[in-house]
């Protein structure tokens, strides 16, 4: 069974840092683009970042460029989101997802349950 499990969310002060992790099971992430999507309380979905299967290509939404870095460890079957200089507007539930839309033939989408990031003093 394909599963994605996020961790690392927490309450952090403005300007602080967090590292989110996404552990995959039931498939090898080495074959797939992986994505982070976030959802602020009561708001819509926001695409945050994508990383290609070998980690050489990464794309970010403009609002996080220079502050957030996406990486992956295919040997550990995990994806990471390093978040620095956090702002109140980064407060959201962060989902790790295998959207299945970037890999060539479209495959099923899988989502984790999310990890909560709250930026507040």
Binding site for other proteins (CB under 8 A): 33, 35, 37, 44-47, 50, 52, 57, 59, 61-62, 95, 99-102, 106, 108-109, 111-114
Q: How far is CA 44 from CA 21, 66, 97, in A?
A: 22, 23, 16
Cα separation of the two ends of the chain: 40
43: DSSP letter: S
Q: How far apart are CB 30 and other proteins at their closest, in Å?
A: 17
Q: How far is CA 9 from CA 18, 53, 94, 119, in A?
A: 7, 24, 8, 10
Closer by beta carbon to other proteins, 18 or else 93: 93
Q: How far apart are CB 121 and other proteins at their closest, in Å?
A: 28
Closer by beta carbon to other proteins, 66 or else 75: 66
Q: How far apart are CB 16 and other proteins at their closest, in Å?
A: 26
């Amino acid at each position: 069974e394909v599963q994605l499990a996020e961790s690392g969310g927490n309450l952090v002060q403005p300007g602080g840092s967090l590292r989110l992790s996404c552990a995959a099971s039931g498939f090898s992430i080495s074959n797939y683009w992986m994505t982070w999507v976030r959802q602020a309380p009561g708001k819509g979905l926001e695409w945050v970042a994508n990383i290609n299967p070998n980690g050489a290509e990464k794309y970010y939404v403009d609002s996080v460029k220079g502050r957030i870095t996406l990486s992956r460890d295919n040997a550990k079957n995990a994806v990471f989101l390093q978040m620095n200089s956090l702002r109140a507007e980064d407060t959201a539930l962060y989902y790790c997802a295998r959207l299945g839309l970037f890999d060539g033939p479209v495959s099923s989408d899988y989502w984790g349950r999310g990890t909560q990031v709250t930026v507040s003093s």
